[in-house]
Structure 1
Amino acid sequence: MNNGIFTINDFKNEPILNYSIGSKERKELETKLMELKNNNIEIPLIIGGKEIKTNNTKKCIIPYDKNKSIGFYHIAGEKEINMAIEAAMEAKEKWQNMNYDRRMLVFLKAAKLASTTWRATLNAATMLCQSKTFYQAEIDSACELIDFFNANCKALCDIYKMQPMNGVDSVNRVDYRPLDGFVYAITPFNFTAIASNLISAPAMAGNTVVWKPASSAVYSAYVVLKLLQAAGLPDGVINFIPGNASEISNIVMENENLAGVHFTGSTNVFNSMWTAVGKNISTYKSYPRLVGETGGKNFCMVHNTADIDTVVAALIRGSFEYQGQKCSATSRAYIPESMWTKIKEKLISEISTIKMGDAETRENLMSAVIDEKSYKKIKTYIEYTKNSSEAEIICGGKYDDSIGFFVEPTVIVTTNPYFKTMIEEIFGPVLTIFVYDDNSFYETLDNCAKSSKYALTGSIISNDKNVLNNAEDILQFSAGNLYINDKSTGSVVGQNPFGGSKASGTNDKAGSIINMLKWVSPRSIKETFTPTSNYRYQNML
């Protein structure tokens, strides 16, 4: 019998390790990188805790060394997709009825393992699979993953504490049930931590999950699931089915037990899911919760009071870290004409010092983009710009896929604030700059606010507090995460709840109580001590 009240009272972010030469963490990571590179692992489906092999397989390659395979995964078909749904439903009753503290302990233990004995494995898998450098892997597959597990457990405890007031002759309470059915999680390639959050947030609240990982990140996703199994995750709670996205979604979205969707990916794909829900709405036992973080066309708005060094550092880090493949990456900037010459000179000079190559060389800021499809898309935008009279490339513009999918950090300057690369999401290391007349700051700011269908992240850089205050108001609905005198990236769990609106998603703020509320279904319970025995009210007597 357990009559203690378990709660988590505080949360602290996981410290970032520096991987300096000769450090323990660097030696461990380099050893693990060598081990993983020299193995070619087989990745099965995991359904109801069982390994399923379909013999329809696809390679896991290293983006910066595209001919090197580090594994191969089995692809789910219709049979396995339905098996995963059935396994999730079979596991649900036992999992949702488990004491919440015991559910949480799985993820708290996973966080501890990720911070210690599993850290090198998670980071090495992410570096090889997703072409992340030492630092980018560390802040993602170690720190942010750990933070999501810990912060979400605390958020769930805070939700359970939210109880109503009592009546004069009654006691009221709220029971936070899981959703009625299973949750479908579709995870992206660019962050191992996001993948871990999309599956774990619903699960720790008592839901069971059908998980479709990004095809280009199956390798690291598999490592995350093995971590959770090592932490004690029961069979069937999370069912792992790599495969064709449309085939899996078509089957899952038609199932009557679909209770929720947790998604990060393209706006078009999320739109198709909303459409599918509308089409199948009379089929479902309940209205599915749809939680999604989608596209972005993130901006940096510069005022003529800004510090030039601050601007250049924000543009480079915001645009080119992890090859611009962050949902929050800076991809358009507005620079005042009076500062442009100096900013241009320093920007080109600093970019020329950026080292790009394999993710394993510590000095490299950039590596390859994720795959051939992404490479070709980015290449198309660069070629479009080269052939346009409205824009010019002042830096970069070259690409090479002979060894891996490499694209240089590229800066475009346009005379048209609605130029193709100013308004369309590219998801690569391409920054487009519009130079504006200093006297047109507020007109340009208004254009920045209204020219994009997205509203994910943005930054405003100025040393004038009145300008910052006005800009903050004007940009009210232009970014779910607004950064002042900083780059447009760098959301930290517990510090900057992340998410955007408009075509950027449902703004359900990953890593916060806002997101966790989506995965519970409250039930209000009132118990009256002395029931009324007469239907007549006092004024009727």
Structure 2
Amino acid sequence: PAAPAMMGNVAVWKPSKTAVYSAGVIMEIFKEAGLPDGVINLVYASGPVAADTVLTHPDFAGIHFTGSTAVFQSIWKTIGENIYKYKSYPRIVGETGGKDFIFADPTAKKRELAIAMLRGAFEYQGQKCSAASRCYVPASIWPEVKEIFGAELATVKMGPVEDFTNFVNAVIDESSFDKLKGFIDRAKEDEDAEVIFGGNCDKSVGYFVEPTVILAKKPDYITMKEELFGPVLTVYVYEDEDMDATLDLVDTTSIYALTGAVWSQSRYNIEKIAKRLENCAGNFYINDKPTGAVVGQQPFGGARGSGTDDKAGSIFNMLRWTAIRTIKENFVPPVDYTYPNFQPDNE
């Protein structure tokens, strides 16, 4: 809510039910910093209750939404159905889902790629819309990448957040745990997939999902397509000579276009892949993990099923929350309605 408020608007902030505590802390910081009462109004309500009030109100002027693609589409539909009620046409900004990719070519540095896969997929338990979720690795380098990745993953500690040496903590709630466990259990049974690392889940003392890597035996396996939002990475190994066809798969497999990364030591391939995948990721990384955008340094956002690509953390997003007024002042108003061409020709 800070961006609209900074541009002079009053904002109503409704956090996710799983983020009420952090939202409360942020609100306390805002107030301590001098934010006046009534500028940002933090309300704790269920999504449907808030939507029924906000999206039908004549003064509704815009929404800055972060969440699932399905919910955002529902909000947009509701706005359209209520458009005749509003005093102005609402600004609609959304940052929604992602099925973020890492694509490596045969020249990629193997250890660097393995570390990017581990960090990109498992930091914050993969609970980032930018988290690496699908990875395409050529067959010629996969055995060594797999070995390095497995050795590093074996050193990863999982446990509560109070211990700062734990790299992986619990996922956010039980519904997330159950969803992730369902996909992992399915991959263990499916002929088209194999769990090659991790796969254990335990909610006896917290919703802990072990960092898991699924090897997809076909490129359109379900975990290559659907956003999971957890510590699950799916790898598809392609034949080196099929690189161009695999780039087509990166483009068409998912409805999302949030973040993506290319790993290569060939400048020709980097330029080629970046051009081929220009519509696949609003934030595109070269020889880096597809996460870590910082406000003010790297504006963030994607298109397709990932949102409106208004680039949070940039001037472009800020300008979405302004009403532009043009003013003209005339110091020499005309005293005759006619123009020169109305006068008779003088020969």
TM-score bin, normalised by smaller chain: over 0.9
Once the 2 structures are TM-superposed, how far is the Cα of residue 427 of structure 1 from its aligned partner?
0.1
Determine whether 1:410 maps to 2:201.
no
| AA of the residue aligned to 1:218 | V
Counterparts of 1:397 and 1:307, CA distance in 2: 27
Counterparts of 1:491 and 1:352, CA distance in 2: 27
Counterparts of 1:396 and 1:500, CA distance in 2: 30
| 2:70 counterpart SS class | helix
- Counterpart selection for 1:277 from 63, 79, 87: 79
Counterparts of 1:382 and 1:233, CA distance in 2: 45
Counterparts of 1:263 and 1:228, CA distance in 2: 20
Question: Could you report, residue by residue, the CA deviation over 1:248-271 in whole angstroms, capped at 9, with x for unpaired residues?
Answer: 112210111100101100000000
| AA of the residue aligned to 2:311 | K
Partner of 1:369: 171
- Counterpart selection for 2:237 from 435, 439, 445: 435
Partner of 1:319: 121
Identity %: 51
User: TM-score when scaled to structure 1?
Assistant: 0.63
Partner of 1:444: 246
Q: Which 10-residue stretch deviates more, 237-246 or 256-265?
A: 237-246
Question: Could you report, residue by residue, the CA deviation over 1:80-104 in whole angstroms, capped at 9, with x for unpaired residues?
Answer: xxxxxxxxxxxxxxxxxxxxxxxxx
Counterparts of 2:274 and 2:143, CA distance in 1: 27
| AA of the residue aligned to 2:318 | M
Determine whether 1:260 maps to 2:65.
no
- Report matched runs for 1:205-354 at 5 Å: 205-354=7-156
Counterparts of 1:245 and 1:356, CA distance in 2: 32
Counterparts of 1:482 and 1:333, CA distance in 2: 14
Counterparts of 1:498 and 1:455, CA distance in 2: 12
Partner of 2:224: 422
Counterparts of 1:235 and 1:498, CA distance in 2: 29
Once the 2 structures are TM-superposed, how far is the Cα of residue 447 of structure 1 from its aligned partner?
1.0
| 1:527 counterpart SS class | coil
Partner of 1:520: 322
Counterparts of 2:292 and 2:50, CA distance in 1: 32
Question: Could you report, residue by residue, the CA deviation over 1:62-90 in whole angstroms, capped at 9, with x for unpaired residues?
Answer: xxxxxxxxxxxxxxxxxxxxxxxxxxxxx
| AA of the residue aligned to 1:427 | F
| 1:347 counterpart SS class | helix
| 1:435 counterpart SS class | strand
| AA of the residue aligned to 1:514 | F
Which stretches of structure 1, 4 residues or longer, exceed 6 Å deviation after superposition? none
Once the 2 structures are TM-superposed, how far is the Cα of residue 216 of structure 1 from its aligned partner?
0.9
| AA of the residue aligned to 2:298 | N
Determine whether 1:401 maps to 2:203.
yes
| 2:228 counterpart SS class | coil
Partner of 1:455: 257
| 1:333 counterpart SS class | strand
Counterparts of 1:513 and 1:468, CA distance in 2: 28
| AA of the residue aligned to 2:21 | Y
Once the 2 structures are TM-superposed, how far is the Cα of residue 494 of structure 1 from its aligned partner?
2.1
Once the 2 structures are TM-superposed, how far is the Cα of residue 360 of structure 1 from its aligned partner?
1.7
| 1:239 counterpart SS class | strand
| AA of the residue aligned to 2:167 | L
| AA of the residue aligned to 1:443 | A
| AA of the residue aligned to 2:157 | K
Once the 2 structures are TM-superposed, how far is the Cα of residue 349 of structure 1 from its aligned partner?
1.1
Partner of 1:503: 305
Q: Which 10-residue stretch deviates more, 503-512 or 221-230?
A: 221-230
Once the 2 structures are TM-superposed, how far is the Cα of residue 495 of structure 1 from its aligned partner?
2.1
Once the 2 structures are TM-superposed, how far is the Cα of residue 361 of structure 1 from its aligned partner?
1.2
| AA of the residue aligned to 1:422 | M
Counterparts of 2:191 and 2:268, CA distance in 1: 37
Counterparts of 2:161 and 2:329, CA distance in 1: 61
Query: How many aligned residue pairs are there?
Result: 343
| 1:201 counterpart SS class | helix
Once the 2 structures are TM-superposed, how far is the Cα of residue 373 of structure 1 from its aligned partner?
1.0
Once the 2 structures are TM-superposed, how far is the Cα of residue 346 of structure 1 from its aligned partner?
1.1
| 1:535 counterpart SS class | coil
Determine whether 1:488 maps to 2:290.
yes
| AA of the residue aligned to 2:15 | P
Question: Could you report, residue by residue, the CA deviation over 1:414-464 in whole angstroms, capped at 9, with x for unpaired residues?
Answer: 111100000000000000000000000111011101211000000000000
Counterparts of 1:470 and 1:254, CA distance in 2: 47
| 2:170 counterpart SS class | coil
| 2:141 counterpart SS class | helix
Counterparts of 2:254 and 2:143, CA distance in 1: 27
Partner of 2:268: 466
User: TM-score when scaled to structure 2?
Assistant: 0.98
Once the 2 structures are TM-superposed, how far is the Cα of residue 307 of structure 1 from its aligned partner?
0.2
Once the 2 structures are TM-superposed, how far is the Cα of residue 535 of structure 1 from its aligned partner?
1.5
Counterparts of 2:204 and 2:210, CA distance in 1: 14
| 2:140 counterpart SS class | helix
| AA of the residue aligned to 2:100 | N
Q: Can you give the 5+ residue segments of structure 2 that lack an aligned partner in the other structure?
A: none
| AA of the residue aligned to 1:509 | K
Counterparts of 1:342 and 1:224, CA distance in 2: 44
| 2:284 counterpart SS class | strand
- Report matched runs for 1:79-228 at 5 Å: 199-228=1-30
| 1:343 counterpart SS class | helix
| 1:498 counterpart SS class | coil
| 1:221 counterpart SS class | helix
Counterparts of 2:216 and 2:28, CA distance in 1: 48
**More helix, by proportion:** 1
